[in-house]
DNA sequence: AAATATGTTCCGTGACACGGAACAGAGCTG
DNA sequence: CAGCTCTGTTCCGTGTCACGGAACATATTT
């Protein structure tokens, strides 16, 4: 029964939004009656909200989600460094962690001009299509990296790297330089430079700067990204 | 059964943390056996995580919570203005909304020096003890404000206002000036200035700057806070 | 060795979740 | 306007599976 309720909530990943009863019933392949009853319960508990025949995620989920310790702590530690990075570059800054074959974005800060990016806080993207993802891959367990390279490679734009050989080269370059690059592989017109954040030997997160392709100057961004990632890594090491 | 599972999750509000089986059993006043089984289910579903006999909120909650539409949209719209405010003041900046008799903090940004504040993103504090809360009270439905004034007034420090008369005066001042002040009412040594964010006539949120008492200069902060709140209000009005 | 914590397994009972069938509207279509 | 087809909703009999007391396993304290 919990399973059924959870599968309803799962309909909202990874993009949020709002659904009607029938849609939920179809997506979960549960009988309409069952979904109806469960949604009513979930609304009563504050996990869903209802507005005229459509259901959205509820405020209590926001509260609970913000309190998830590992994410909250990482965010809290990282925020000042992301802040520094944003001020140094004035561009959109991301912080993400690995979850399976995907990146989960933990934080994202930006100014008034918003890039047309598919990344959302709490959202997921394929590791292989993003700067953050490549930085994580480059400094993760080698076995996992091989698994990802062996599997089918997702593609978000025509520039997404779907050739495992090219991808391996990119990852090796990142391992050497400590920086991962991404050019229009996640969104057209947007390039990105990323660096891993270490807690000890393994990368526990990565941060990146996303920039409109037309004014992407990697050489100018690299030092700031390095500094931020290094500062955060040092803090994590000292803090535990 | 959902109710029971939800009451387990509710143990983690408003402060997160991690609990042992017995603690959860006590807090929910459910039999240990039942909690055991439910926690196992919740872990399986990713809503809790287990580490050596203690349970914490799970990663899936983070994902879902970040996707809650109303909060997400507000945060997204507000972030650039909070950013401006932070850069103008270099102090800790908050964004909060009203939920019952409490503030729920939606966003908080700060630099490397972290104030000893009880506020957390997703956390709740009494409306009456915080700058954000007073700004919300001053520009909310009058009936609700009266209800809050009539009820018992919470107290977080010796400076928290527990006298309804004094509190009403403070709210009226905020209504006149468009700014709410708070001095060590939420945390010792921290003062705060806040402004409401309007979506039309009613305040849907409020933002604030919290400053160590020793260098609190309201006159210098006020323009930046006003500008940010006004800018965000304008954006919300135009965006809908 | 006894006492008191913890988490965990077992299992019989009965409450209550389940979901098919039927109903109630709203919005089209012929 | 009847007839069809979508919505969401109520009803209710069936049987499943959540419930929680009792017993157990293990660690720590007395």
pLDDT recorded at residue B200: 82
- C-alpha A218/C-alpha A225 separation (Å) is 10
pLDDT tens figures, A198-212: 988 889 999 999 999
- C-alpha B240/C-alpha B237 separation (Å) is 6
Find the helix or strand (DSSP H, E) in which B26 lies: helix B21-28
C1' (C10) to CA (A7) span, angstroms: 29
User: Taking every pair of C-alpha atoms in chain B, what is the biggest distance, in angstroms?
Assistant: 58
- Please answer yes or no on whether B45 and A6 come within 8 Å at the CB atom: yes
Task: Give the residue whose CA sits closest to D18 at C1'.
Answer: B1
pLDDT recorded at residue A238: 85
Strands of the sheet containing A18-20, edge to edge, are A18-20, A54-57, A48-51
Residues with Cβ within 8 Å of residue A92, at least 6 apart in sequence: A108, A109, A110, A111, A114, A115, A117, A209, A210, A211
Scanning every residue of chain A, which has its alpha carbon at the shortest distance from the alpha carbon of B105?
A: A63
- C-alpha B125/C-alpha B131 separation (Å) is 11
- Give chain A's domains with CATH numbers: 2-64 (1.10.10.10), 68-238 (3.30.450.40)
Task: Report the DSSP beta bridge partners of residue A105.
Answer: A96
Nucleotide closest to residue A31 (CA–C1'): C19
Structure confidence at residue A138 as a pLDDT band (50, 70, 90):
very high
Residues of chain A positioned with their CB less than 8 A from the CB of B42: 2
Query: Cβ(B218)–Cβ(B233) under 8 Å?
Result: no
Residue A239 sits at the chain B interface (C-beta within 8 Å): no
Residue A111 CA, distance from chain mean position? 19
Task: Report the DSSP beta bridge partners of residue B180.
Answer: B194
- Binding-face residues of B in 61-120 toward A, CB within 8 A: 61-72, 75-76, 79-80, 83, 86-87, 99, 104, 106, 109-112, 114, 120
pLDDT tens figures, B15-63: 888 999 999 999 998 999 999 999 999 999 999 999 888 999 999 999 9
- The phi and psi torsions of A235 (rounded to 5 degrees) equal -60, -45
C1' (C1) to CA (B33) span, angstroms: 29
Q: Residue A240: pLDDT above 70?
A: no
- Please answer yes or no on whether B123 and A66 come within 8 Å at the CB atom: yes
Q: Is the ipTM of this complex over 0.85?
A: yes
pLDDT recorded at residue A95: 97
pLDDT tens figures, A68-115: 998 999 999 999 999 999 999 999 999 999 998 999 999 999 999 889
pLDDT tens figures, B149-190: 888 998 999 999 999 999 999 999 999 999 999 999 999 999
- Binding-face residues of B in 125-154 toward A, CB within 8 A: none
pLDDT recorded at residue A70: 86
What is the 8-class DSSP label of residue B213? G
Structure confidence at residue A13 as a pLDDT band (50, 70, 90):
confident
Q: Residue A239: pLDDT above 80?
A: no
What does pLDDT average to over chain B?
Answer: 93
Query: Cβ(A197)–Cβ(A226) under 8 Å?
Result: no
Give the mutation candidate from A17, A68, A87 for the B interface (greatest B CB count, under 10 A): A68
Q: Residue A14: pLDDT above 80?
A: no
Residue B47 sits at the chain A interface (C-beta within 8 Å): yes
Strand D lies under 7 A from the Cβ of residue B37: yes
- C-alpha B67/C-alpha B71 separation (Å) is 8
Of B16, B41, B109, the CB nearest to A67: B16
- Long-range Cβ contacts of A56-59 (<8 Å, 24+ apart): A56/A12, A56/A16, A56/A17, A56/A18, A56/B68, A56/B69, A56/B70, A57/A9, A57/A12, A57/A16, A57/B64, A57/B65, A57/B67, A57/B68, A57/B69, A58/B68, A59/B68, A59/B70, A59/B71, A59/B99, A59/B104
Structure confidence at residue B240 as a pLDDT band (50, 70, 90):
low
The alpha-carbon gap from B72 to the nearest alpha carbon of chain A, in Å, equals 9
Q: What is the mean pLDDT of residues A218-236?
A: 94
Task: Give the residue whose CA sits closest to C18 at C1'.
Answer: A34
The alpha-carbon gap from B62 to the nearest alpha carbon of chain A, in Å, equals 4
pLDDT recorded at residue B92: 96
């Amino acid at each position: 029964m919990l399973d059924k309720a959870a599968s309803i909530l799962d309909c909202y990943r990874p993009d949020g939004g709002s659904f009607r009863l029938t849609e939920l019933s179809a997506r979960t392949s549960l009988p309409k009656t069952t979904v109806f009853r469960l949604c009513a319960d979930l609304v009563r508990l504050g996990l869903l909200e209802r507005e005229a025949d459509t259901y959205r995620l509820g405020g209590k989920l926001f509260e609970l989600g913000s309190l998830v310790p590992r994410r909250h702590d990482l965010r809290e530690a990282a925020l000042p460094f992301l802040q520094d990075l944003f001020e140094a570059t004035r561009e959109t800054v991301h912080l993400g962690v690995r979850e399976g074959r995907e990146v989960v974005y933990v934080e994202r800060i930006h100014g008034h001009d918003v890039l047309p990016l598919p990344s959302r806080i709490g959202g997921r993207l394929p590791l292989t299509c993003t700067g953050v993802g490549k930085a994580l891959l480059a400094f993760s367990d080698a076995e996992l990296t091989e698994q990802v390279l062996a599997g089918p490679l997702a593609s978000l734009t025509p520039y997404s790297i779907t050739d495992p050989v090219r991808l391996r080269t990119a990852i090796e370059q990142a391992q050497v330089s400590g920086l991962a690059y991404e050019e229009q592989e996640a969104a057209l017109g947007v390039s990105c430079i990323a660096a891993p954040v270490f807690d000890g030997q393994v990368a526990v997160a990565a941060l990146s700067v996303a920039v409109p392709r037309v004014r992407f100057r990697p050489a100018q961004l690299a030092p700031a990204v390095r500094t931020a990632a290094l500062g955060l890594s040092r803090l994590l090491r000292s803090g535990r």
